[in-house]
Amino acid sequence: MEILPLVCVFLLTRCGTTSADGTGPVVIKMVVNEGNDAILPCSLDTRSIKQELFDWKKDGDKEVFMYDKGSHYNKDRTGQDEQFKGRVFHFPEHLESGNASIVIRHTKVTDSGNYTCDFPFHLPNRRSHIVLVVDPILKDRSDENIPGATPKPNVAILDETKDRALLQCEVHGASPKPHVQWQNRAGNIVPAEEPQVSERGGSYDIVLNTTVTKTDHYRCVSTQDEINHQIYSETFVHISENHTGRMVAVGVPVGVVVGAVVGAVVLSLFVGAVVLFVLKKNRHIILQRNKNQTVTRRVSSEGSALQTHGYDP
């Protein structure tokens, strides 16, 4: 199985071969997106190369990876270029079949260039040529210290009502001039006012306002395509909506609501206690009245009995 097609299938890279005059060495061209891994193919027939030496270089002099009879840069060898330290690996399990390919992890734009794979002690000399192109992607490049790269935008809520909010985004010290826009959480562009742009010495300051009427996360995005730099800041806006006819409390402090509820509960308990007290009092009065009436009837009955038997009380 040929290595090149296998590499292209697994990495979804764009590969091709070229030759200047049809008789010279074949040059393999590979294109990957920044941040993806790139496998650079190289092989020596199908026999074992465990006891061989092979050396990968970039642009003729940068040491990318060297293997020599089990010794290599990731093990005990020195001399690897700083650009590739900790990012380039070979395939030990495939050395037995003559595979000297390497993988560059997390490719950077600066990895683009001409790579060669040499077997210097093999006769005839064997060398592979690969042109690697790393396509840049839009991302936050603040940690790359690029002059003029936009810092994180400043976002603020200038004004709020029950049904809308005025948002402001400020971008300072950007060069080249960035494209600034507001987006919602789904990434859709939010209509905004005309940007206020000021320029001094090739450096741009931009202010962009927008008015929103829906609850959502809103982000101000600054994009500089020329340097593949994109950065944003985000804020959350809550809008009290009433589209169903339900009553909505807008702007009422939580403490007031809680206080009203507690007051209502206390009042209910107090009224209940008063009612219970009155009921108990009335019951006691009724019982006492019934008791008195019973005693009166008993006394009257006893008096009548005495008169009947001839006793005059």
pLDDT, tens digit, for every residue of 2-42? 444 444 534 445 665 554 444 556 899 999 999 999 999 99
- pLDDT at residue number 251: 33
Please state, in angstroms and rounded to a whole number, the distance separating the CA atoms of residues 13 and 177: 32
- pLDDT at residue number 24: 57
Give yes or no for a contact between 157 and 237, defined as CB atoms under 8 angstroms apart: yes
Residue type, 303: G
Q: For the domain bounded by 3-135, which CATH number is listed? A: 2.60.40.10
For residue 265, the SS3 value is helix
Kindly state the average pLDDT of the residues 233-239: 96
pTM confidence score:
0.64
- pLDDT at residue number 260: 52
- pLDDT at residue number 16: 59
| Count, residues in the chain | 313
Kindly state the average pLDDT of the residues 226-240: 96
Q: Does domain 142-237 have CATH number 2.60.40.10?
A: yes
- pLDDT at residue number 21: 46
Q: Is the pLDDT of residue 68 over 90?
A: yes
Q: Is the pLDDT of residue 1 over 50?
A: no
Percent of the chain with pLDDT over 70: 69
Preceding omega of 41 cis (within 30 degrees of 0): no
pLDDT, tens digit, for every residue of 82-126? 999 999 999 999 999 999 999 999 999 999 999 999 999 887 778
Tokens of 140: 């936050």
pLDDT, tens digit, for every residue of 280-291? 666 665 556 655
| 228, HSE (Cβ side, Cα atoms, 13 Å) | 11
- pLDDT at residue number 127: 87
Give yes or no for a contact between 17 and 7, defined as CB atoms under 8 angstroms apart: no
Residues 6+ apart with CB under 8 A from 106: 35, 36, 37, 87
pLDDT, tens digit, for every residue of 257-279? 345 545 665 566 666 665 566 56
Q: Is the pLDDT of residue 310 over 50?
A: no
- pLDDT at residue number 50: 94
Percent of the chain with pLDDT over 90: 63
